[in-house]
């Protein structure tokens, strides 16, 4: 029973296929990167797993059951550009949003939730920013806040959309450390990733995606110049780096 199992997934917007006949599974306890060029269907794949996008065909199961029944076992980190950071609220409040699911209807977050949120902010090095207005955060800080919101959910499966985009080197290192810590606790993390040169150092497994599945497996096995060529076409200048 894999954390994620997908069979024959096809997603099309206005008849143009974005994902074509994808079979995919993520084994437990790995850091798995989803890589591919722009428009390859990486974000759409995450959104199909979450049920945010309705597939034209195929099934998605999470820990052996239909995804919508397993939402409490997963935590989602959307692209930070997908929200309006001028929303009137604080960093702590955003992190507490991760606990709304467990809180249930009609209940407001209290002392316990605040405590958990603060601990989570501590883990991403943002505890000093708890009371800060979110409009005052830098890109890297926004990303850390989103990660803290996912951490506080204490899920078994994490889905992250481009967490490394537009963050500084310090934040990138902090995120990698965090991913490894999650893996050491047996969590499964699926990350949409853009940067091929760091693939092998940051991740255990990779899905190479370009509408169709190009390859899936341990990075040492599947991240090869040939597969990258197939995924990115002829435009990939970083292929040389792979030999380095």
Partner 1 sequence: MLDYTLILVFSGCLVLGIVAGTLGSFAVLRKQSLLGDAISHAALPGVAIAFLLASSKHPAVLLLGALCAGWLGTLFILLITRTTRIKNDTAMGIVLSVFFGLGLFLLTLIQRMPSASKAGLDKFLFGNASTLLLQDVWTMLILGGATLACVLLFWKEFKLLSFDPDFLHSLGRNTLILDVFLTTLLVAAIVIGLQAVGVVLMSALVIAPAVAARQWTDHLGRMVALSALFGGVGGVLGAFASSRISNLPTGPAIVVGISVLFIISLFFSPHRGLLKDWLRERKNRKTVRSKKVLLALFTLSRSHKTPFHSHPVSSLEAIAPGSIEGGLEELRNQGLALPSGAGWKLTHKGAIEARRLAQHVYGEMP
Which residues of the chain form contacts with partner 1 (CB under 8 A)?
A: 14, 47, 50-52, 68, 71-72, 74-76, 78, 82-84, 87-90, 94, 97, 100-101, 103, 105-106, 108-109, 133, 135, 149, 159
Write down the least CB distance from residue 219 to partner 1, Å: 27
Smallest separation (angstroms) from partner 1 to the CB of 80:
10
State which residue, 24 or 146, has the beta carbon closest to partner 1.
146
For the CB of residue 81, give the shortest distance to partner 1 in the complex, in Å.
12
Output the smallest distance, CB 96 to partner 1, in A. Answer: 9
* Choice between 69 and 180, CB closer to partner 1: 69
Residue 20 or residue 85: which is nearer to partner 1 going by CB?
85
**CB closer to partner 1 out of 34 and 159:** 159
Smallest distance, Å, CB 173 to partner 1?
25
Between 96 and 223, CB nearer to partner 1:
96
Q: What is the closest distance, in whole angstroms, from the C-beta atom of residue 69 to partner 1 in the complex? A: 9
Q: Which residue lies nearer to partner 1 by CB, 63 or 76?
A: 76
Give the residue from 200, 214, 209 showing the smallest Cα distance to 242: 200
DSSP string, the chain: --SEEEEEEEEEETTEEEEEEEEEEE-TT-EEEEE-STTSSHHHHHHHHHTSS--SEEEEEETTEEGGG-GGGEEEE--GGGS-TTSS-BHHHHHHGGGHHHH-TTPPP-HHHHHHHHHHHHHTT-GGGTTSBGGG--HHHHHHHHHHHHHTT--SEEEEESTTTT--HHHHHHHHHHHHHHHHTT-EEEEE---GGGHHHH-SEEEEEESEEEEEEEHHHH--HHHHHHHHGGG-TTHHHHH-
């Amino acid at each position: 029973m894999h954390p994620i199992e997908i069979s024959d997934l096809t997603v099309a917007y206005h008849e143009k296929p974005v994902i074509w006949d994808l079979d995919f599974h993520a084994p437990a306890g790995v850091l798995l990167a989803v890589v591919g060029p722009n428009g390859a269907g990486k974000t759409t794949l995450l959104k199909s797993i979450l049920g945010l996008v309705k597939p034209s065909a195929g099934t998605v199961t999470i820990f052996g059951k239909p995804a919508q029944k397993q939402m409490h076992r997963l935590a989602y980190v959307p692209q930070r550009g997908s929200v309006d950071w001028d929303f009137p609220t604080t960093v702590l409040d955003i992190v507490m949003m991760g606990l709304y699911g467990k809180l249930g209807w009609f209940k407001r977050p209290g002392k316990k939730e605040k405590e958990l949120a603060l601990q989570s902010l501590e883990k991403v090095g943002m505890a000093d920013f708890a009371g800060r207005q979110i409009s005052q955060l830098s890109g890297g800080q926004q990303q850390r806040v989103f990660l803290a919101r996912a951490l506080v959910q204490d899920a078994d499966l994490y889905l992250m959309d481009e967490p490394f985009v537009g963050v500084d080197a310090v934040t990138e290192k902090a995120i990698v450390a965090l991913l490894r810590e999650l893996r050491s606790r047996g969590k499964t993390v699926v990350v949409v990733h853009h940067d091929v040169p760091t693939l092998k150092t940051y991740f255990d497994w990779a899905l190479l995606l370009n509408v169709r599945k190009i390859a899936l497996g341990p990075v040492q096995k599947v991240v090869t110049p040939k597969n990258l060529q197939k995924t990115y076409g002829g435009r990939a200048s970083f292929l040389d780096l792979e030999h380095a």
